[in-house]
Each structure stands twice: as C-alpha cells, then as structure tokens.
A and B are shown apart, each in its own frame.
Chain A
C-alpha cells in the first residue's frame, strides 16, 4: 500500500524507447494534477529540407527520417510521388515492395519485443542479464534480425536505406535464385517465429491488466490481405475513408508539453500501430496469424494498450506466411527487368502505408519540373502521443486507488510508453572505456 498521498514522478528520459521523452506526473493529496509524456527533442524539419528538391530525391531524403523504418518511409514517399504524377506500378513492383514491408516489420518487431520489451516481462533492467541465462533466445532474435535485414538487402539493395526502389519501380530486380534462397530461409525461420510466439505467450500474463477503449486507426479495406502497403484509412469509430482525407484523419495540433504535434479525430486521441491494425483487420489474419493470436490470447477488439506488443508478435507470424506467398507469386510469374520511364509533372499526391509503429502519411506537391513545392509527413509516434497521455491519465488514478506504490506506478508508466514502441530519434554510438588497473 502506498503511504504517500502527494508525490511527483519525473522519468527523465524513458529508457528502451527511440529518442527522448520524459514522463511527468504530479499527485497531490491522492489526486492526479498532471500526467503527461513530454517530448523534448528538437523538430527535424524534413518537410522543409524537401522543398526545392527533385521528385527523384524525395524517397531517398525521407528514408533518413528513421534508420529502422527507412523502407517504410521510402515506400510511403514513392506512393505519394506516384500519386502526384499519375504513375502506375506493375504487379511485380507491388509484390517486391510488399516483401520490403515484410523485412522491415519483422526486423523492427523482433528487436522491439526481444530487446526492449522482454526485460520488463521478466523483471530485468535490460536484455543483458537475459543473455547469460538464455543465450539461445538472444541468438534467435539475432537470427531473425539477420533474415529480415537480408530480405531488405536482396530486394532493396541494402539492409538500411534501400537504393533500388524508385518512383515507378525498381532500378534492379533481385535474381530468382536469391529469392528462392530467401524463401528457404523464411521457411527455416518458421520454428523461430513459433518459438517467439511461445515465449511471449508464456510471459503475456505479466502484462498489466489495464484497458481503455479508444479510436483505432490503421489501413483497412483492400483485397482481403492483412493490409500493410495498400488499402484505405480505417477507423474503428468511423470505418473506411480514402487516403486523400488523411488531414481529417489526423488533425495535427501543437501542444505545450511536446515538441511533436498531437493528433485526434473522433475522440480526444486515437491509437495507431500493431494493436490498431489487428483490431481493425483481425478478420484478415492468415493461418499463421490466427494460430499466433490464439496462442497469445488475443481476440479483437482488445482495449489493453500493453497488448500492442502481443500484436507485434502476431504480425511476425502473419508477415512470414504472407511473404512466402508473395515470393511464390513472383517466382511463378518469373522476374523480369521493367524499364521505368517517368515524365515529371505538377501535382499533389498522398502516400499512406503501415510502418511498424503505425500508419504513416506523406504528401507532396510538385511543380512542372518535378521539384517539391510543399511536403507533409505525419509519423505514427506523433499520432500516438495524445493517446499515451490519455492512457496515463486513466492508469495513474486506478493505481493510486488500488494502493500501488510510486515505484509500481512509475514502472507501469514506463512500460506503457515502451508498449507503444515510440520512435523519437536517432543516436550516436560511442565507446566509453576505463582500463582495468
């Protein structure tokens, strides 16, 4: 039982998330006065960088928004440029792009679940203590990471910041042999995915039993496939709407405590990401996705934000099966070089795809020479911030009423932020060395 009736929580910065965010909570006489996730990073001005740059460069520049979601930003950017210039892509291009999505999702989800979330579930501060007690688990995570990197490498020419994808198609098509090898390795990885599902299923009981229904926004519609690359914007409150309406489906606004804008549509906040995708598209799970969902105890709709991590694991299974299908289609049709010829023209276009952390929008306006006049990118983490605040505002009073300690509340809040897998920035890698005397 907590004896404190008045306390402040200041987590500067939340660890195991991408970038810098602070949790600020003030409780006075048992009453919550303030509770927010403050985003303290400087804005990065990518939209301004794009102005005056060529249509050929937009995807390469926006890829640098994120080292993890670089394929996702490229794909969204390419869709926006193609929409603006009326460029249609072939079935082969579509399938290869979906494979890129698969590689990108698998990499991000596997690393997030194994390295950043699992320590919470086993009560460890980081993955390092797990490495000595469960080295095979860490090796499995690395093996899956390597596979997903290689998917992006074979299709995109490079594991991070791919180089073969251009408006209209590809500069280089992977060799059939390389795709066959990739297929064999994906098949070999299925036991690793099953082991991942089993591992998280065994730990899922440790996830806090907290629910707050909100609006869930993701891609939806489409051809019956679990939509990650194409489809319409789907809201759990309002149904489907074309991606052209993305501004109405985000409504960005500036808030005082965050350098990243907040968004809202039909309620004061909404959620994007794996839980939103699964809630909106559970009917489109393939056999592997269904099996994973059953093993993990997920049924749609689920209103526990901590289950976002469970849904990431379901998606790993979902994606692996879909990727095999896409490779089979490509191999059955036969891969061929498809020369791309684009005549730039003026126009405005919107691109919308799912990236691991949620729905992503890019919009560009081009002039007659194909130079960017205006650009707008709305990333998933920004869309989730208001929802994280709203979750915290429900969670903290519930925990105070349940007599939980300040430490318990702090831990639950950090875990909540991590559950959303927020991606706030990139960082430097540097060794700090002391010599043993």
Chain B
C-alpha cells in the first residue's frame, strides 16, 4: 500500500479546472518513489472522500480561487484554509471538493490533506486551459515533488496503512 496519495481534481472540459488532472498527467512522467500513488479523480470530487479514510498524507491538486493572479501556485494544509462552499447547489453533479473537505472534517477522517492550489483564469466549459494555467503545471509539479521529498521518507518507513 502506498503512503502518499496525490489526487488531481477537476473537470477537464471546463477551462482551467483541467489543471488538476493535467498536473497528475505531468507527474506520471516523473520518477517518483514507490510510496506515491497518483490518482486522477476528474470531476468526481466525491470519489476523493474514500482516499481520506486512512491515516495517510494526501496531496490534492486543484484549481482554486485564492485571490491571486492566474497561474499562481500555493501549497497549504487544508486545515489552514477556510474553503468556501461556493455553489449552494448540492447535487450529484455538483458535489465539489469544498463539500468533500467539509464532509471529511465532519466525519473526522484521519488523512492529512495538503492542497496544491492553482489560481485559474477561467473555468468556462468548452475552452482549453489558459496560458497561465499551462505555465503553472511545472510549478505545481515542483510543489508536489517537494512535498513528496519531505514526506516520503517517513511514509515509506511507516507500516503500510490499510485501505478499507
């Protein structure tokens, strides 16, 4: 069982929302330690919840409105940010990552979550990623690799966590 889960979230058909999955694709070409599991959750944010049920380190890569210029990449523990539930609409299509992080908190799920957020320029459907988002991909990859470097030794040395 892998010790660090890197999860890309986002709708690949909605402009810069595609950046999370794109970072996961870029990471597939990198030499990563055995303990790293790459997961592309796509638009199924609810599917992320099951990866938070173990006491492991989880890095979520997603487009995030952080009041920064488009393309800015910020790394922060989920616990340190107030993630707003933007859409008041709970729906099966519309369960977003904000809902999922809130659910994980309420359910007291043990995973330690770090977010690598990429400020989007636009998340309009039907358009490709903006140049700012594309340029942010290598920066986000660096951020993930740096987390992996600092976490991996401990994770690989620890006993394998059990997945339910």
Contact = CB atoms under 8 A, between A and B. Distances in A.
Nearest to A111: B92
B9 interface: yes
Contacts of B45: 429
B162 to A, nearest CB: 15
A202 interface: no
B94 A18 contact: yes
A45 interface: no
A70 B43 CA distance: 14
B83 interface: yes
B69 to A, nearest CB: 15
A68 B92 contact: yes
B44 interface: yes
A67 B44 CA distance: 10
A435 B82 contact: yes
Interface in A153-183: 159-160
B103 A128 contact: yes
B83 A427 contact: no
Nearest to A126: B90
A258 B103 CA distance: 34
Contact of B107 (A15, A17, A116, A139): A139
Query: In the complex, which range does the number of interface residues on chain B fall in?
Result: 35 or more
Nearest to A425: B93
A74 interface: no
B107 A135 contact: yes
Contacts of A149: 47
Contact of A431 (B47, B50, B83, B95): B83
B106 A432 contact: no
Given A434-B82, A435-B80, A426 B93 contact: yes
A406 interface: no
Contact of A436 (B81, B95, B96): B81
A18 B93 contact: yes
B81 A434 contact: yes
Interface of B: 9-11, 14, 17, 42-47, 49-50, 53, 62-67, 76, 80-84, 86-99, 102-103, 106-108, 115, 117, 120, 123, 125
